[in-house]
Amino acid sequence: MSPQSLTITIHRLPHAKNLPLPQAATAQSAGMDLCAAISNPVTIMPGKWALIGTGIAVALPLDCEAQIRPRSGLALKNGVTILNSPGTIDADYRGEVGIILINHGENPFIVEPGQRIAQMVIATYKRALWQEVEELPSTNRGTGGFGSTGVNNPKK
């Protein structure tokens, strides 16, 4: 069974004319790779970050967002991830999709033109309507927070 498709309007900006549109690496990949639309390499020093353009702008349906997520290979091999992960592209935003890369690694990281730097997942969402109450219904967990369900003892 394959996932449902959704047609989304996309505009490739002039500085990305030779880059591929976002695409999944495999038939079952949830994320579509985004490439660096830069003309020269950008060096990100350890502990620093940089905004890297992707050269695309999108018009999402009203009930969708584009989630911008890190690429696991960049994180594992270089300590490079996305500063505001996951980032959200809202349906009413029409500007260039930008990626805020941060280098948590020990060495300078060079972003090369056309390099795959992030992935985008299209997700639907629901708008919350709040109903204020005096008390919430009880659960077994109750108000147990961080670590309250245990680390080594999964619930049976």
Task: List, in order, residues 6 or more apart from 111 with CB less than 8 Å away.
Answer: 36, 38, 41, 42, 43, 44, 50, 52, 101, 117
Enumerate the H helices of the chain as residue ranges: 72-78
Number of domains comprising the chain: 1
18: in domain = no
88: in domain = yes
Contact 66, 122 (CB under 8 A): yes
Min mean pLDDT across 40-44, 58-62, 139-143, 145-149 is at 145-149
137: in domain = no
State the pLDDT at residue 141: 86
155: in domain = no
146: in domain = no
- With bands split at pLDDT 50, 70 and 90, how would you rate the model's confidence at 144? confident
Whether the pLDDT of residue 143 is over 70: the answer is yes
Taking the C-alpha atoms of residue 57 and residue 93, their distance in angstroms, rounded to an integer, is 8
SS3 49: strand
CATH number of the domain at 53, please: 2.70.40.10
- With bands split at pLDDT 50, 70 and 90, how would you rate the model's confidence at 155? low
Its domain, for residue 55, covers 26-124
| pTM for the model | 0.86
59: in domain = yes
State the pLDDT at residue 154: 60
Per-residue pLDDT tens over the stretch 100-109 = 999 999 999 9
133: in domain = no
Whether the pLDDT of residue 26 is over 80: the answer is yes
Taking the C-alpha atoms of residue 82 and residue 90, their distance in angstroms, rounded to an integer, is 17
What is the DSSP secondary structure assignment for residue 73, as one 8-state letter? H
Taking the C-alpha atoms of residue 68 and residue 87, their distance in angstroms, rounded to an integer, is 5
Which class for 111: exposed (0-12), middle (13-18), buried (19 or more C-beta within 10 A)?
Answer: buried
